[in-house]
Amino acid sequence: MKNYIRKLFTLVLIRDKTRVLLGYKKRGFGQGRWNGFGGKVEAGETAQEAAARELGEECRLMTAPENLTKVGELEFTFEESDTLMDVKIFTTNTYTGIPTETDEMRPEWFPLEKIPYSHMWPDDELWYPIFLRGNKFKGAFHFKGHDIILSQSLSEVEAFTN
């Protein structure tokens, strides 16, 4: 196995009983795919603080870091890269503001039964069902390029250790 450089990222999934808020990524990593809101954790930030900041930057919704509940921990590696993306996934239904398009994301609500998996990262259709059942999960996905999963692990967990 490569000596990966681990980097911390966040992902926020806003949902209520019937729908989930996704953003169409207009540029950069994951361009052209629907995803939650998130990005790199900067020095001096907790993952929750970074997640709340990115939610504001990418779709103008405001929430307090303590409103964000962790639901998933996923690690992503790529054949072509030495970076291990350590992604902490949070959810909340407590926020203020109206989802607003930014330079990075075009937000849209999707009914829970109409999640656009064919235009999302390919791992998402594997773990969204766990998330949508209200459960927590951990996993790792190793990619070739951005479309092919070469190996994976995924399991539901009761809680996280940190």
Ligand X SMILES: Nc1nc2c([nH]c(=O)n2[C@H]2C[C@H](O)[C@@H](COP(=O)(O)OP(=O)(O)OP(=O)(O)O)O2)c(=O)[nH]1
Residues at the interface with ligand X (CB under 6 A): 9-11, 28-30, 35, 38-40, 76, 85, 87, 121, 123-124
Looking at the Cβ atoms of 10 and 92, the one nearer to ligand X is 10
Q: State how far the Cα of 100 lies from the Cα of 116, in Å rounded to an integer.
A: 20
Around 140, how many Cα atoms within 13 Å sit in the side-chain half-sphere? 8
Looking at the Cβ atoms of 67 and 78, the one nearer to ligand X is 78
Looking at the Cβ atoms of 67 and 142, the one nearer to ligand X is 142
CB of 47 to ligand X, least distance (A): 11
CB of 146 to ligand X, least distance (A): 8
Give me the sign of the Cα torsion angle 27, 76, 122, 106.
Answer: negative
Looking at the Cβ atoms of 29 and 109, the one nearer to ligand X is 29
CB of 10 to ligand X, least distance (A): 6
First to last CA, the chain: 25
CB of 104 to ligand X, least distance (A): 7
Question: What is the token pair recorded at 27?
Answer: 């540029």
Give me the sign of the Cα torsion angle 105, 107, 111, 112.
Answer: positive
Q: What is the number of the residue whose Cβ is closest to ligand X?
A: 39
Question: What is the token pair recorded at 92?
Answer: 């909340």
